[in-house]
Amino acid sequence: MTTAMCPGSFDPPTNGHIDLVERARAVFDRVIVAVIDNPSKRHMFTAAERADLFRVVFGDTVEVTTFSGLLVDHAREKGVDVIVKGIRTTADHEYETQMAHMNRHLSGIETMFLPTSPDVSFISSSLVKEVARLGGSITGLVPQAVELALKEKLQ
Ligand code: PNS
């Protein structure tokens, strides 16, 4: 059995993240979404809220965890074989490659990249928040539960 972990900030989860997790599910036996809990970063949603948003979308079909500290420590605890990351742009590739090498150096765990599906490759959590803050429509960019949660946060 091969276990994959999809880690990230996910503040908030977007349709790009959902696409990545769904595609990882099609390839690996077990997929864990790992939401970073980093109190030193100012997130709009708490780690528990971000994890719950994934649970609303995936129900019991995907395991969702939160972690702080090193990703590879959490991955080892969970028996992860491979880290899966989505790549949208060359900038993502550069950044993710560096992290992938560091994570392999630290733990031996490999990272696999999936190119983000073209129809969602322009979506980022930060742009979604900006559009929502400025009153634009985020329909189709995030799951409905996230759209509602964002509206609530911005009230
Ligand atoms: O969604 P993001 O912001 O690209 O996710 C980045 C994340 C959370 C996967 C990365 O920052 C991370 O793994 N942080 C945990 C700390 C760590 O392990 N640092 C060394 C990574 S090389």
Q: One-letter amino acid identity for 102?
A: M
What is the mean pLDDT of the segment spanning 135-155? 97
User: What is the model's pLDDT at position 90?
Assistant: 95
Choose, from 9, 17, 43, 50, the residue flagged as catalytic: 17
Q: Would residue 55 show up in a list of annotated catalytic residues for this protein?
A: no
pTM for the full predicted model: 0.97
User: What is the model's pLDDT at position 39?
Assistant: 86
Q: Would residue 74 show up in a list of annotated catalytic residues for this protein?
A: no
What is the mean pLDDT of the segment spanning 133-137? 97
Q: What percent of the chain has pLDDT over 90?
A: 98
- Cβ(14) – ligand 1 distance below 6 Å: no
User: What is the model's pLDDT at position 59?
Assistant: 95
CA–CA separation, 2 and 68 (whole Å): 23
Is 114 in a helix, a strand, or coil? strand
Q: Is the pLDDT confidence value at 106 over 90?
A: yes
pLDDT digits (tens, 9 = 90+) for 30-75: 999 999 999 899 999 999 999 999 999 999 999 999 999 999 999 9
Q: Which domain holds residue 41?
A: 3-154
Distance 107 CA to ligand 1 centre (A): 14
Q: Is the pLDDT confidence value at 22 over 90?
A: yes
Residues in CB range of 74: below 8 A, 6 or more apart: 5, 7, 34, 65, 67
Read off the CATH number of the domain in which 111 is found.
3.40.50.620
Structure tokens at 137: 């429509």
* pLDDT tier, 109 (very low <50, low <70, confident <90, very high otherwise): very high
Nearest CA to ligand 1 atom 21: 99
What is the mean pLDDT of the segment spanning 83-111? 97
Beta partners for residue 31, in sequence order: 4
Structure tokens at 74: 């959490």
**Which of 80, 116, 109, 113 shows the shortest CA–CA distance to 96?**
113
Structure tokens at 5: 């972990």
Tally of structural domains, the chain: 1
Q: Would residue 153 show up in a list of annotated catalytic residues for this protein?
A: no
